[in-house]
Chain A
Amino acid sequence: MGTAYTPGLKVSRNTHIVKERKLSLKGEVLVKVGDEVEPGTIVARAELPGDLHSVKMVQRLGGSYEAREIPAILLVKEGDRIEKDQVLARTKGLFGRWFRTEVKSPVVGTVEYFMKTTGHLGIRTVPHPVEVNAYIKGRVSQVFPEDGCVVEADGAFIQGIFGVGGERRGKIKVVVESQKDVLTKDNLPSDLTGLILVGGSRIEAEVLHAAADGGAKGVVAGGIINEDLSAYLGYEIGVAITGEEQIPITVIVTEGFGTMAMAKRTFELLKSLEGKEASINGATQIRAGAQRPEIFVYGEGEEAAEEDEESAHQLAIGTRIRIIRVPYFGSLARVSALPHELQRVESGSLVRMLEAELDDGEKALVPRANVEIIAE
Chain B
Amino acid sequence: MASSEPKSLLITDCGSTTTKAILIEKKGDEYRQTFRGEAPSTVEAPFDDVTIGVINSATEVEELSGRKLVRDGGVNRPDDGTGKNGVDLYLSTSSAGGGLQMSVAGVVGSMTAQSARNAALGAGAIVMDVLSVDDGKKPYERIKRLRALRPDIVLLAGGTDGGTKAHVVELAETILAADPKPRFGSGFQLPVIYAGNIDARKDVTELLSKMTTVECVDNIRPTLEEEKPERAREAIHEAFLEHVMSHAPGYPKLMEWCDHDIMSTPNAVGQIMRTVAEQEDISILGVDIGGATTDIFSVFWREDDIGNRENDYHRTVSANLGMSYSICNVLLEAGIENIMRWLPFEMDAAEIKNRLRNKMIRPTTIPQSLEDLLVEHAVAREALRLALIHHKELATSLMGIAHEGDISDLGGGKTGPQTVVDMMELKMAIGSGGVLSHAPTRAQAAHMLLDAWQLEGVTLITVDSIFMMPHLGVLSQVLPEGAAQVFKRDCLLYLGTSIVPVGEAKREGNHVAEIIIEMPKGREKIDLKYGDLKVIPLDVGEEAQAVIKPGRRFDVGGGKGKDVSRRLMGGLVGIIIDGRGRPLPFADDAAEQIKKNQNALEAFGLSWK
| Bound: A41/B350 CA distance, A | 44
Give the nearest-CB partner of B202 in chain A.
A117
A247 CB, min distance to chain B CBs, angstroms? 18
- B143, B350, B371: the one contacting A225 at CB < 8 Å is B350
Chain B 356-376 interface 0/1 with A at a Cβ cutoff of 8 Å (1 = within): 011011111111111111000
Between-chain CB contacts (< 8 Å), 15 pairs: A7-B364, A26-B187, A52-B173, A117-B169, A236-B331, A236-B332, A238-B328, A239-B325, A257-B358, A288-B41, A325-B372, A347-B368, A349-B366, A370-B365, A370-B366
Q: Is B207 an interface residue (CB 8 A)?
A: yes
Q: Is A6 an interface residue (CB 8 A)?
A: yes
A239 touching B373 by the CB < 8 A rule?
A: no
B375 CB, min distance to chain A CBs, angstroms? 9
| Bound: A25/B357 CA distance, A | 34
Q: A51-B177, A52-B177, A118-B170 are in contact. Are A324 and B362 (CB under 8 A)?
A: yes
B368 CB, min distance to chain A CBs, angstroms? 5
A369 touching B361 by the CB < 8 A rule?
A: no
A324 touching B181 by the CB < 8 A rule?
A: no
B56 CB, min distance to chain A CBs, angstroms? 15
Give the nearest-CB partner of A371 in chain B.
B365
| Bound: A49/B43 CA distance, A | 31
Q: Is A147 an interface residue (CB 8 A)?
A: yes
| Bound: A257/B369 CA distance, A | 19
A321 CB, min distance to chain B CBs, angstroms? 13
Question: A25, A147, A324 — which one has the most chain B CB atoms within 10 A of its CB?
Answer: A324
Of residues 176 to 199 in B, which have CB atoms within 8 Å of A's CB atoms?
176-177, 179, 181, 186-187
Q: A226-B350, A257-B358, A367-B368 are in contact. Are A287 and B325 (CB under 8 A)?
A: yes
**Residues from chain B with Cβ under 8 Å of A26 in the complex:** 186-187
B354 touching A288 by the CB < 8 A rule?
A: no
Give the nearest-CB partner of A24 in chain B.
B181
Q: Is B139 an interface residue (CB 8 A)?
A: yes
**Residues from chain A with Cβ under 8 Å of B361 in the complex:** 161-162, 240, 256-257, 284, 286
**Residues from chain B with Cβ under 8 Å of A342 in the complex:** none
| Bound: A54/B171 CA distance, A | 11
- B176, B326, B373: the one contacting A238 at CB < 8 Å is B326
B325 touching A286 by the CB < 8 A rule?
A: yes
Give the nearest-CB partner of A348 in chain B.
B440
A315 CB, min distance to chain B CBs, angstroms? 14
Q: Is A289 an interface residue (CB 8 A)?
A: yes
B368 touching A286 by the CB < 8 A rule?
A: no
Of residues 325 to 365 in A, which have CB atoms within 8 Å of B's CB atoms?
325-327, 329, 345-349, 351
Of residues 122 to 145 in B, which have CB atoms within 8 Å of A's CB atoms?
139-140, 143
Q: A52-B173, A227-B353 are in contact. Are A369 and B373 (CB under 8 A)?
A: no
Binding site for A on B (CB under 8 A): 16-17, 40-41, 43-45, 96, 139-140, 143, 165-166, 169-170, 173, 176-177, 179, 181, 186-187, 200, 203, 207, 210, 292, 320, 325-326, 328-329, 331-333, 350, 353-355, 357-358, 360-373, 438, 440-441
| Bound: A347/B355 CA distance, A | 16
A16 CB, min distance to chain B CBs, angstroms? 15
**Residues from chain B with Cβ under 8 Å of A369 in the complex:** 364-366
- B173, B328, B353: the one contacting A122 at CB < 8 Å is B173
B203 touching A117 by the CB < 8 A rule?
A: yes
**Interface SS, A side:** loop
| Bound: A25/B362 CA distance, A | 33
Q: A7-B362, A51-B143, A346-B370 are in contact. Are A239 and B328 (CB under 8 A)?
A: yes
A327 touching B354 by the CB < 8 A rule?
A: no
| Bound: A239/B365 CA distance, A | 17
| Bound: A112/B441 CA distance, A | 63
**Residues from chain A with Cβ under 8 Å of B44 in the complex:** 288-289
A326 touching B43 by the CB < 8 A rule?
A: no
Give the nearest-CB partner of A289 in chain B.
B44
B550 CB, min distance to chain A CBs, angstroms? 35
B255 CB, min distance to chain A CBs, angstroms? 21
| Bound: A115/B205 CA distance, A | 12
Give the nearest-CB partner of A227 in chain B.
B350
Task: Count A-side interface residues using an 8 Å CB cutoff.
Answer: 53
Question: A226, A237, A288 — which one has the most chain B CB atoms within 10 A of its CB?
Answer: A288
Q: A25-B186, A115-B203, A147-B186 are in contact. Are A349 and B367 (CB under 8 A)?
A: yes
**Residues from chain B with Cβ under 8 Å of A326 in the complex:** 355, 368-369, 371-372
B176 touching A287 by the CB < 8 A rule?
A: no
Give the nearest-CB partner of A292 in chain B.
B361
- A52, A327, A367: the one contacting B143 at CB < 8 Å is A52
**Residues from chain A with Cβ under 8 Å of B140 in the complex:** 51
Q: A51-B177, A236-B331, A256-B361 are in contact. Are A287 and B292 (CB under 8 A)?
A: yes
- A24, A112, A226, A324: the one contacting B365 at CB < 8 Å is A324
B440 touching A113 by the CB < 8 A rule?
A: no
A170 CB, min distance to chain B CBs, angstroms? 24
Chain A 92-131 interface 0/1 with B at a Cβ cutoff of 8 Å (1 = within): 0000000000000000000011010110101010000000
| Bound: A225/B354 CA distance, A | 7
Give the nearest-CB partner of B166 in chain A.
A118
**Residues from chain B with Cβ under 8 Å of A324 in the complex:** 358, 362, 365
| Bound: A45/B366 CA distance, A | 45
Question: B17, B200, B364, B370 — which one has the most chain A CB atoms within 10 A of its CB?
Answer: B364
| Bound: A6/B17 CA distance, A | 13
| Bound: A323/B472 CA distance, A | 39
**Residues from chain B with Cβ under 8 Å of A122 in the complex:** 173, 176-177
| Bound: A51/B441 CA distance, A | 57
B129 CB, min distance to chain A CBs, angstroms? 16
Q: Is A258 an interface residue (CB 8 A)?
A: yes
**Residues from chain B with Cβ under 8 Å of A70 in the complex:** none
Q: A118-B166, A236-B331, A239-B329 are in contact. Are A351 and B366 (CB under 8 A)?
A: yes
Q: Is A366 an interface residue (CB 8 A)?
A: yes
| Bound: A52/B146 CA distance, A | 13
| Bound: A148/B517 CA distance, A | 72
| Bound: A372/B364 CA distance, A | 11
**Residues from chain B with Cβ under 8 Å of A54 in the complex:** 139, 170, 173, 177
A256 touching B358 by the CB < 8 A rule?
A: yes
**Residues from chain B with Cβ under 8 Å of A7 in the complex:** 362, 364
**Residues from chain B with Cβ under 8 Å of A257 in the complex:** 354, 357-358, 361
| Bound: A289/B248 CA distance, A | 14
A256 touching B373 by the CB < 8 A rule?
A: no
Question: A52, A256, A327 — which one has the most chain B CB atoms within 10 A of its CB?
Answer: A52
B369 CB, min distance to chain A CBs, angstroms? 5
A49 touching B179 by the CB < 8 A rule?
A: yes
A2 CB, min distance to chain B CBs, angstroms? 12
- A51, A52, A112, A240: the one contacting B328 at CB < 8 Å is A240
B370 touching A348 by the CB < 8 A rule?
A: yes
| Bound: A171/B93 CA distance, A | 49
| Bound: A258/B359 CA distance, A | 12
Q: A122-B176, A288-B44, A348-B441 are in contact. Are A325 and B207 (CB under 8 A)?
A: no
Give the nearest-CB partner of B332 in chain A.
A238
A329 touching B358 by the CB < 8 A rule?
A: yes
Q: A240-B360, A324-B358 are in contact. Are A288 and B43 (CB under 8 A)?
A: yes
Q: A238-B328, A369-B366 are in contact. Are A288 and B16 (CB under 8 A)?
A: yes
A347 touching B372 by the CB < 8 A rule?
A: yes
- B181, B325, B370, B372: the one contacting A240 at CB < 8 Å is B325
A238 touching B366 by the CB < 8 A rule?
A: no
| Bound: A367/B362 CA distance, A | 14
A115 touching B353 by the CB < 8 A rule?
A: no
B365 touching A117 by the CB < 8 A rule?
A: no
B350 touching A115 by the CB < 8 A rule?
A: no
Give the nearest-CB partner of B203 in chain A.
A117
Give the nearest-CB partner of A160 in chain B.
B361
Q: A117-B165, A347-B440, A348-B441 are in contact. Are A25 and B181 (CB under 8 A)?
A: yes
**Residues from chain B with Cβ under 8 Å of A325 in the complex:** 358, 362, 365-368, 372
4 A-B pairs closest in CB distance: A348-B440, A52-B177, A238-B329, A289-B44
Of residues 252 to 282 in A, which have CB atoms within 8 Å of B's CB atoms?
256-258
